[in-house]
Structure 1
């Protein structure tokens, strides 16, 4: 199947053994649709087949004129003549209206591609939902532990590392950034929904444990975070799941896709870049991106 659909020098590979006229137009190849009818239908009268197919497309309500252009192509005598042509996308749209076994591989492939696109869309929506849940759990945890002894930025950073360390077999945030790339705070943006859910569960369990057992002090709380992460990790292992550090990474979710309207950082995303941070009385900040080694 892949060999039939592989692109080869601008031609659909299924057509390589047939004489398919093509012309370069507007930055891409356009194919003679009359010529395409031969390999797609085994017809002995390509002009008649394409003429009948155009009428069928009209009856079905398809505006084939939107993806078919008349472009000059040489005839058998060498004379240039206007010929119905389509680019690859147009050919694949027309294929769906052809009732012949030769067209079936294309239809099956298009169905698989369509399903993949829909699945990716659903996965991205779920990732955005889980990303927002993890952010909420993280903020809740760091707000609560202030009352139990974690106050300074360095102490909060120690808790962040402890959260990751238990779940990721000793890896800190910096360790994961070196492996995956990115900058501090960006790791969840590339996680899939299962990895996000595992992290959310770990944060929620730590918060519950700290409050329930009245755990106080930096070391006791970070120890509890590591132990809780290790517990979630063991649960994943017992379920036969992939370990968190080996879970697939995705194209990063932009803040605007998952960040709720009432998020503390939202105001900065709605502020023009040229004035964001001006005269706010705060310190200048430089974000250093950590690139994963090749």
Structure 2
């Protein structure tokens, strides 16, 4: 089952979701739905009582519950009761709430948006563009960020072509590229910028994004030309790609007298942009 976890917002409330590519279905965290629709101070207890009620009534909805791993507030992933969109509509009928109807409309929109994006991938790009604009990013930065997503996808496709393992091997190669061009591992880079769960690329400056793209694009191009036979050869290519961007970084720093990799993050450089307006 191929799944991609995301966080959706309903009236500023976070709802953890997972898109199942095989089934082409959204799954939603039941606890988050209850937290959104009710005034319960303990959503888990509310759900526990409701689950017992559904079981006692012999509700078919109870049999539709699946457990997926979602990240909790402590940063760890836990198995969480979930339902797909159709069953969530039925669940809402068991939860008296003035927010029920707006929530149903919200659910329907999420499902419709996803189906539209599958038919027209350009809509996904448009949605990402609008989200970045809403956060205050400049159009120039957004263009670089969207391009970085494309380049990252090309590198990921190359790794898959080579039969490399998603997860540990992918992360290890990314770490090598990042360390080689920036002088920091991904973890060190995030610590420098004061990040925890935030996406590192969303907190890079224009120049950092450009050099990171150069490193990843170079790695992909070299890999396609050399066609590495194993993981060790791919690690060597990752260093080569990172070196190309690393040399560019050093030369730029020599010319400008300024560090490219800094503690600046989205919060700081967006605030600085607002002050200049």
TM over 0.5: no
Identify, as 1 or 2, the structure richer in helix.
Answer: 2
**Structure ranking higher on relative contact order (CA contacts 8 Å, 6+ apart):** 1
Scaled by the length of structure 1, the TM-score of the pair is 0.41
Scaled by the length of structure 2, the TM-score of the pair is 0.43
The structure number with the bigger radius of gyration is: 1
